Structure 1
Amino acid sequence: MDYLSSTYYFDFETEEIQQLVSEFKSDLISDKEKTKLLYLKVRDSWRYDPYHLSFSKENYKASTIAGKPKGHCVEKSIILIACLRALGIPARLHLGKVKNHIGVERLTEKFGTNELTPHGMVNVYLNHKWLKLSPAFNKTMCEIYNVSPSEFDGENNSYLQEFNNDGKIFMEYLEDYGHFEDVPLEFMITNVKEHYPHIFNKDNKSEFKL
C-alpha cells in the first residue's frame, strides 16, 4: 500500500497545501515534531462543523478544504494527511462510527440520532509504528463543551475524548471501519445513506446543509 503519494484527494503538490507546510520544510525539525505542529495547526485553524455533508468529489480534495473556514472530521483528516504526505510522512485515513453524549441536541434534531458516521481520523507512521490521531475538535469548541482538547505527543494515540472535565462521558466509538489508502467516497456515501436515509429527498442532491 502507498501512504506517501499525492492523489486526487490528497493533492499535496497544489499551492494551497504547499503553503500550509512551508514553515515545516526543514531538516532541523524531526518528523515527530512536524506531526505535532501540523496536528495543532489543522485542529485549531478549521472550526469543526458536522452539519454540511457533501458527496461531490471536488469538495473532498485537500486543496479545496484548505480554502474553507471549517470542516467536519473527515475533511480535517484529509487536510492533515495531505500535509503529512507532503513532508514525506506516511499517513492514511481511518473511519468509524462514534456516539457523542454532550451538546447533542442539534445533532439529534438534524440527524435523528447522536451517532455520527463515518467519523474520520488519521493514522500516521512514526518511529516504526502506526498511531491514531483526530484533529476534528478545535480548541474553542472544546472550551464551550468543557472538554479538554485532544493533544498529540507524537508517541501515543490521540483520537478519543472519552470524558469531559467533569467526568461525564463525552464520546465513544461504536464501530471501526478500518483504514484506507485514499478517500473511499463511494463507501462513505453508502454509509451515510444507510444511517441517515431521512436526509435524502427526491432530487438526490449532492450537498446537504443541515
Structure 2
Amino acid sequence: MSQISTVPALDEAPGRQSLEPTDFLDSDYPSVVEYAATTCEAAGAHSDRDKAVALFNAVRDGWRYDPYVVSRDVSDYRASAILASESSWCVPKSVLLTALCRAAGIPAGLGFADVRNHLQSSKLEERMGTDLFVFHGYSAIWIDGAWRKASSAFNRELCERFGTKVLEFDGVNDALMHPFDEAGNRHMEYVRYRGDVTDLPLGEILAEFDEVYGAGFAGGSDGVRDQAFGRD
C-alpha cells in the first residue's frame, strides 16, 4: 500500500500510467528518446531486461552524485532537464532512469523510502538534526513479469573513492542500497518504504524535507556532497 497521497500508486501489473509521459517523466522529449535509443543500441540491448540494465548503468555513472544540487524549481525535476545536467542526486536520477525506461517501451515508475546511513558523521547529523534520510528515490521497472527496484544514485567513482560497494543491477534482482560497506561496516538501512508510484510527488517531497530538516534545507535525501557516505 502506497504511503504517498499525491500521485497514483503503481498497479500490480503495468498499466497505461506506467508507460505514458508526464510533465516530470517527459519520456517523449526528443533528447530523452534519443538518449534511450543510443544507449540501448551501444550496449547491444534488445530485451527489456538488457535495455533496463544498460539504462541503469548509464544513469548511475553518467551523472555524478551531488546532493547540493537540490532545487526548488519545478522545471529542474523534468527528465529532459536532468539529462542536460552533469550531476544530480537520488530523486532526479531516478526520474531520469524511469523516463528513459518508458522511452524504451519499458513500464516504469518511482519508488521512495526513508533510509538511515550508519556511516553518517556527527557533523552531518548535527547539520540535519536527525540520522534519518527521508524520500530516498529509486526506480521501479517492469521486467519479465515483475517490478524490480533499482537505485541509480551513487556513481561507481564515488563508491570506489569511499570504499562502499558499487550497486549493480542485473534486471533479475532488486538493486537497493547495500547494508554494509566493503569493510563490513553497516551502511544503509531501509527504515520505511513509502511506496512505488506512477509520477514524481515533488510537492510532498519538498514539504517533508522542510518538516524534517527545516525550511530551505540545502542537502539531499541521502547526504551532502563530500559527506555523502557519512565521512567527516
Per-residue CA shift, 1:98-135, capped at 9, x if unaligned?
11122545633542333222100011011111111100
CA distance in 1, matches of 2:93, 2:172: 21
Per-residue CA shift, 1:156-180, capped at 9, x if unaligned?
1111211011110011111111011
Q: TM-score, normalised by structure 2?
A: 0.81
CA distance in 2, matches of 1:117, 1:66: 24
Matched position secondary structure for 1:54: coil
Matched position secondary structure for 1:107: helix
Higher strand share: 1
Say whether residues 1:136 and 2:156 are aligned partners: no
Q: 1:75 to 1:197 in 2, by over 3 A?
A: same
- Which residue is 1:70 aligned to? 87
Question: Which of 101, 115, 129 is the aligned partner of 2:132?
Answer: 115
Matched position secondary structure for 1:51: helix
Q: Percent identity?
A: 33
CA distance in 1, matches of 2:145, 2:85: 33
Aligned 8 A contact 1:59 1:65 in 2: yes
CA distance in 1, matches of 2:123, 2:161: 15
Aligned length: 203
Q: TM-score, normalised by structure 1?
A: 0.89
Say whether residues 1:195 and 2:217 are aligned partners: no
Q: 1:89 to 1:106 in 2, by over 3 A?
A: farther
Matched position secondary structure for 2:167: coil
- Which residue is 2:18 aligned to? 3
- Which residue is 2:33 aligned to? 18
Q: 1:79 to 1:104 in 2, by over 3 A?
A: farther
Aligned 8 A contact 2:209 2:215 in 1: no
- Which residue is 1:54 aligned to? 71
Quote the offset at 1:28 in angstroms. Answer: 6.4
Aligned 8 A contact 1:96 1:177 in 2: yes
CA distance in 2, matches of 1:115, 1:52: 19
Unmatched 5+ residue regions in structure 2? 1-14, 225-232
The one-letter amino acid paired with 2:154 is: F
CA distance in 1, matches of 2:116, 2:86: 25
